[in-house]
Structure 1
Amino acid sequence: MADVATLVEQARAGRPRSVARLISLVEGASPQLREVMATLAPLTGGAYVVGLTGSPGVGKSTSTSALVTAYRKRGKRVGVLAVDPSSPFSGGALLGDRVRMGEHTSDPGVYIRSMATRGHLGGLAWAAPQAIRVLDAAGCEVVLVETVGVGQSEVEIAAQADTSVVLLAPGMGDGIQAAKAGILEIGDVYVVNKADRDGADATARELNHMLGLGESRGPSDWRPPIVKTVAARGEGIEEVVEALEKHRAWMEEHGVLADRRRRRAAQEIENIALTALRQRIGDLSGDQRLDALADSVVRGTSDPYSAADELIAGLTSA
């Protein structure tokens, strides 16, 4: 069994192996997970969490790597969670973004971790919230969360990030995809990457038009900016960072940041509670109480909703 207090102390001292072990405890749903989270709790709240999402091929990994470079130039410690599709064989991360961000692997001020979705819809690994907390407690001032890029269910990133960045690229039908996926509702900053390609200006104009449709923002409301970049050459990345900093300042001024973090915590608590309930219900398979309730439904002396209420009452009072 790992010594959690020692691991946390070493993680805060910047030892990547200890950070890795803590995240592995999270991913593996270790019996020590509760102790890990309790130890980390008073050490969190300092990291600015930025989510990057968009269709496959828009350059998310390249953009993430360029943002790491920009933040490191500003002296920030950066954590990266690159959430990949799961390997159908090992269950591990399939794409391995650490390979594509190799230039940062020797930098002690950067921690990069690929995480597998393990079949979880929405583009995020189920363990991502706890992994973000580990990086926060380990002293990362900025945490970049790059999602799978699976399309319409990609909007889950908005529930995990302080600021959501939506990437698009010209010539990929991203305008239509954006409207279909509902990402026009979740983006705080929009980036048209690969802006050296034909159609970049048209993509930005179309996006600006769609953002204005049905818009009912007040004078003090945030209007998502559109930034054009060529991430492979680092062009426009400083403008993206400036847009992120402006959004953070706006959220702090209007109390939006605290509200988002409160909602994020509430969602996390709910997910943990639902998972625990599912496990307890799963443990009832073949149990006499469940069989008796099923018999009453079959006989018509009870209905499924009443039986479910009785089951929940028994579980919560046990």
Structure 2
Amino acid sequence: MIDQIPALLAGDRRVLARMITYIENDGEEKEDLLRELHHHTGKGYVIGITGSPGAGKSSLTDRVITELRKEGHKVGVIAVDPTSPFSGGAILGDRIRMNEHYLDKGVFIRSMGTRGSLGGLSRATKEVIKVLDAFGCDFIIVETVGVGQSELEIMTAADTTVVVLTPGAGDSIQAIKAGIMEIADIFVVNKADLPGVDRVVTEIEVMLDLGGYKKGDQAWRPPVKKTVSTSGTGVDILVKEIKVHRQQMEKTGRLDLERQRRLRAEVSEIIEVRIKEMIRDQLGRSGQWDELLEGVISRTVDPYTAAHKILKEELWKRSEP
């Protein structure tokens, strides 16, 4: 697969599709592939679109793609669908709604299952973002499965996070409960042709005021925009607002800082995964650890002492020449 990187960089869509599948299936050379691709990333701008089920995220994403394509941008889309409990694959509802873009060579859409990830974003999703970045996508849109405490993980992947709400569904209260106020860079009240839209806008503005977001400050205050995704009303304004946020992030240096923070977090995550794998492997092979765990169960050893001993001895062994 690594030998196909030049074809990917040259814009071969078939290679892109195969490479994404390879990463999803955790291929043997996946890490080597991602190592090589890392040098070709950092140019694509990632937009996260999240919101409660039925808010019209997929239809809105479809319209955003159209606006970006009008300007000639190359767009990659990752639609993070719930994983089917039967097949283990993604439920492809989002792709059906975006079918008009499938013949457009400037757009690449891929559905991915959450695969049990509590954050709504599987680890593979972040890796696929890198592949789309290396492929040359100017914008990479990640549409997530829904809003909740676990959806906060979109912050770890997106440069701009758009939270989609709808009138008449108690979304503003849900936003408070889920902590969505903290992750939204832009609020969108979709289905703005329905009654109650102005009330939702007002509630969000009040929550922003209570959250310390003052109008006129140099710091970014999440704007609240109204859209009707079925007709496309207001989507052009939303795209302009995304670009304004990007310009503000670049001007203040926050974009670079946030990307650096995410890269540091990625390294830490890889280290944590490796340590867990090392410990699991050792626990499976050594009876010594079984004895130690039995001591915890019988309460002759406390869990903290056991964990410290396991970590110390395992890491010491790994560090020996």
TM-score range, shorter chain: over 0.9
Post-superposition offset of 1:12: 2.0
Distance across 1 between alignment mates of 2:103 and 2:271: 39
**What amino acid is aligned across from residue 281 of structure 1 in structure 2?**
I
Give the conservation status (yes or no) of the 8 Å contact 1:129–1:268.
no
Post-superposition offset of 1:79: 0.3
Q: Which residue of 2 aligns with 1:117?
A: 114
Q: Which residue of 2 aligns with 1:285?
A: 284
Q: 1:309 to 1:241 in 2, by over 3 A?
A: same
1:152-167 maps to which residues of 2 (within 5 A)? 152-167=149-164
Q: Which residue of 2 aligns with 1:76?
A: 73
Post-superposition offset of 1:29: 1.6
Distance across 1 between alignment mates of 2:175 and 2:296: 45
Give the conservation status (yes or no) of the 8 Å contact 2:55–2:165.
yes
Q: Secondary structure at the match of 1:121?
A: coil
Distance across 2 between alignment mates of 1:296 and 1:215: 51
**What amino acid is aligned across from residue 313 of structure 1 in structure 2?**
K
State whether structure 2 residue 136 is matched by structure 1 residue 139: yes
Q: Which residue of 1 aligns with 2:20?
A: 23
State whether structure 2 residue 105 is matched by structure 1 residue 126: no
TM-score normalised over the length of structure 1: 0.94
Post-superposition offset of 1:295: 4.2
Percent of residue pairs identical: 47
Q: Which residue of 2 aligns with 1:174?
A: 171
- CA offset digits 1:59-107 (Å, max 9, x no partner): 0000111010000001100000000100112211013422210000001
Count of aligned positions = 315
Ranges in structure 2 where 5+ consecutive residues have no aligned partner: none
Q: Which residue of 1 aligns with 2:194?
A: 197
Post-superposition offset of 1:13: 2.1
Post-superposition offset of 1:296: 4.2
Structure 1 stretch 25-34 or stretch 182-191: which is displaced more?
25-34
Post-superposition offset of 1:300: 5.6
Distance across 1 between alignment mates of 2:87 and 2:13: 23
Distance across 2 between alignment mates of 1:184 and 1:152: 12
Post-superposition offset of 1:271: 2.1
- CA offset digits 1:2-27 (Å, max 9, x no partner): x3132x22222222221111111221
Distance across 2 between alignment mates of 1:34 and 1:154: 26
State whether structure 2 residue 260 is matched by structure 1 residue 244: no
Q: Which residue of 2 aligns with 1:58?
A: 55
Distance across 2 between alignment mates of 1:292 and 1:152: 38
Post-superposition offset of 1:298: 5.2
Q: 1:216 to 1:201 in 2, by over 3 A?
A: closer
Q: 1:315 to 1:23 in 2, by over 3 A?
A: farther
Q: Which residue of 2 aligns with 1:304?
A: 303
TM-score normalised over the length of structure 2: 0.94
- CA offset digits 1:198-255 (Å, max 9, x no partner): 1111111111111111315582100111110011111111101110011001111111
1:83-98 maps to which residues of 2 (within 5 A)? 83-98=80-95
Structure 1 stretch 291-300 or stretch 172-181: which is displaced more?
291-300
Give the conservation status (yes or no) of the 8 Å contact 1:195–1:230.
yes
State whether structure 2 residue 151 is matched by structure 1 residue 151: no
1:201-212 maps to which residues of 2 (within 5 A)? 201-212=198-209
- CA offset digits 1:249-292 (Å, max 9, x no partner): 11111111011111211222222222222222222225223123
**What amino acid is aligned across from residue 151 of structure 1 in structure 2?**
G
Give the conservation status (yes or no) of the 8 Å contact 2:50–2:147.
no
Structure 1 stretch 264-273 or stretch 165-174: which is displaced more?
264-273
Structure 1 stretch 138-147 or stretch 92-101: which is displaced more?
92-101
**What amino acid is aligned across from residue 229 of structure 1 in structure 2?**
T
Distance across 2 between alignment mates of 1:105 and 1:78: 12
Q: Secondary structure at the match of 1:158?
A: helix
Distance across 1 between alignment mates of 2:221 and 2:147: 26
Detail structure 1 runs of 4+ shifted over 3 Å in the superposition: 295-302
Cα RMSD between the aligned structures?
A: 1.6
Post-superposition offset of 1:122: 1.7
State whether structure 2 residue 37 is matched by structure 1 residue 40: yes
Q: Which residue of 2 aligns with 1:294?
A: 293
Give the conservation status (yes or no) of the 8 Å contact 1:14–1:108.
no
Distance across 2 between alignment mates of 1:295 and 1:121: 30
- CA offset digits 1:170-203 (Å, max 9, x no partner): 1111011111111011100111111111111111
Distance across 2 between alignment mates of 1:232 and 1:206: 24
Q: Secondary structure at the match of 1:276?
A: helix
Give the conservation status (yes or no) of the 8 Å contact 2:289–2:310.
yes
